[in-house]
Amino acid sequence: MAKDRIVAGQKQEADPEQTGSALRPRMLVDYIGQARLKERLSIALQAVRGRGEPMEHVLLHGPPGLGKTTLAHVIAGEMGTHAFVTSGPALTKAGDLVGLLTKLEARDVLFIDEIHRLPPAVEEYIYPAMEDCQIDFTVDSGMHAKTVTIGLQPFTLIGATTRPGMLTHALRTRFGLSHHISFYPESEIELILQRAAGLMGVIKIKSDSLAALASRSRGTPRVALRLLRRVRDFAAVRADGQFGPGVIADAMELEGVDSLGLDELDRSYLRVIATTYGGGPVGLEAIAATLGEDGGTLEDVVEPYLLQVGFLARTRQGRCLTQAAAEHVGLPWREPQQPSEALFG
Ligand code: ADE
């Protein structure tokens, strides 16, 4: 499955962060990178703490694996409260949301991942909860119907989404703070790896080793930490715990992850455009059919990183391979046959 790839930004069951990891930063000072977001949060947090208010509702958007859940825990840590984590698809009926909201204590954080997938019937209940700390519940129906209002403790909603465009206007405008989280530069991924390696007790690290891992992490902390765990195991079993560039290269080769963090699915995707479709332009569905994968999955889990590293051009006529991509996978390259906006302006 495309989503089980070691380089996937999406959460996986086996990621220890899913069970509340000791590696997760608890306070803003421990959170590496995203300097502007941290500054915005730090100002808002100091201001609301000074006034004795709950933190404003925050909407975080951007690719998966960049630390949106972690930030919810950090915000709760800074407020001295707890974070409760759920997701849009998990809240199938209004009662699921009401159950969560009523157990929150003052200034607690409710984190809703994939908030764009919240069913409309549930979303309706969120508006008065966010605005007036109350939920209006209708009991009975027809002429006996009556509205019961339940009061809530003041709380902070952190919504996370990879698709901010899919949020309703009504929901989007109820967040006091909205911020896009982008991929991390390699230097920051290296710092995240250093911190994690220290906490994991990986002591035999040679200098520069973590840079070799950072460059394969696709700018994504979740991927970086997953690769670190694989290399730690490899080093323990095959290299007496030694953790140098050679060991990293061997471990990554075994995992099928190349020097830029591309895996076999990425390379197959690029090869299909290069060989089956002459470098493009080609439609997503044609690529998906050739690979035997779902088009939506390719769009969500393969294309974002290839676009980010400049290996793929998306034009109105279809997807095109870039020269850099052809060189990386060792295939010949020629100019796409039809004029396309991305290449010819
Ligand atoms: N773990 C995951 N993301 C992190 C970040 N941005 N800083 C520190 N540790 C992290």
**Distance from residue 32's CA to the centre of ligand 1 (Å):** 6
184 CA closest ligand 1 atom index? 6
Position with higher pLDDT, 206 vs 289 = 289
Q: Tell me, what's the pLDDT at 273?
A: 96
235 pLDDT tier (thresholds 50, 70, 90):
very high
Judge whether 276 counts as a catalytic residue. Answer: no
Q: How many residues does the chain have?
A: 345
Is it true that 34-180 and 264-343 share their CATH fold?
no
Residues flanking ligand 1, CB < 6 Å: 25, 31-33, 67, 70, 192, 195, 221
Q: Tell me, what's the pLDDT at 338?
A: 60
Give the Cα separation of 245 and 250 in Å (integer): 9
Q: Which CATH superfamily is domain 34-180 in?
A: P-loop containing nucleotide triphosphate hydrolases (3.40.50.300)
Judge whether 3 counts as a catalytic residue. Answer: no
140 pLDDT tier (thresholds 50, 70, 90):
confident
Give the Cα separation of 107 and 88 in Å (integer): 21
Q: Is the pLDDT of residue 249 over 90?
A: yes
Which option is the CATH number for 264-343: 1.20.58.2030, 1.10.10.10, 3.40.50.720, 1.20.120.850?
Answer: 1.10.10.10
Q: Tell me, what's the pLDDT at 303?
A: 94
Give the Cα separation of 258 and 218 in Å (integer): 11
* Segment 137-148 mean pLDDT: 86
Cα torsion for 192, 193, 198, 203, to the nearest 10°? -160
Q: Tell me, what's the pLDDT at 16?
A: 73
Q: How many CA atoms lie within 13 A of 216 on its CB side?
A: 26
Placement of tokens 């607690």 in the chain: 108
Q: Does domain 186-255 have CATH number 3.10.20.600?
A: no
**H-helix segments, the chain:** 35-51, 68-79, 94-102, 120-132, 169-172, 186-200, 209-214, 221-238, 245-255, 264-271, 284-291, 295-297, 303-308, 323-329, 341-344
| pTM of the full structure | 0.89
Q: Is the pLDDT of residue 4 over 60?
A: yes
**Distance from residue 205's CA to the centre of ligand 1 (Å):** 19
Judge whether 162 counts as a catalytic residue. Answer: yes
**Distance from residue 31's CA to the centre of ligand 1 (Å):** 5
Q: Where are the domains of the chain?
A: 34-180, 186-255, 264-343
Q: Tell me, what's the pLDDT at 300?
A: 84
Q: Tell me, what's the pLDDT at 345?
A: 43
Q: Tell me, what's the pLDDT at 19?
A: 47
Q: Tell me, what's the pLDDT at 1?
A: 64
pLDDT in tens, 80-94: 999 999 999 999 999
Judge whether 208 counts as a catalytic residue. Answer: no
Catalytic: which of 162, 216, 220, 226?
162
132 pLDDT tier (thresholds 50, 70, 90):
very high
Give the Cα separation of 15 and 196 in Å (integer): 14
Catalytic: which of 24, 107, 216, 222?
222
Q: Is the pLDDT of residue 17 over 70?
A: no
**Distance from residue 226's CA to the centre of ligand 1 (Å):** 13
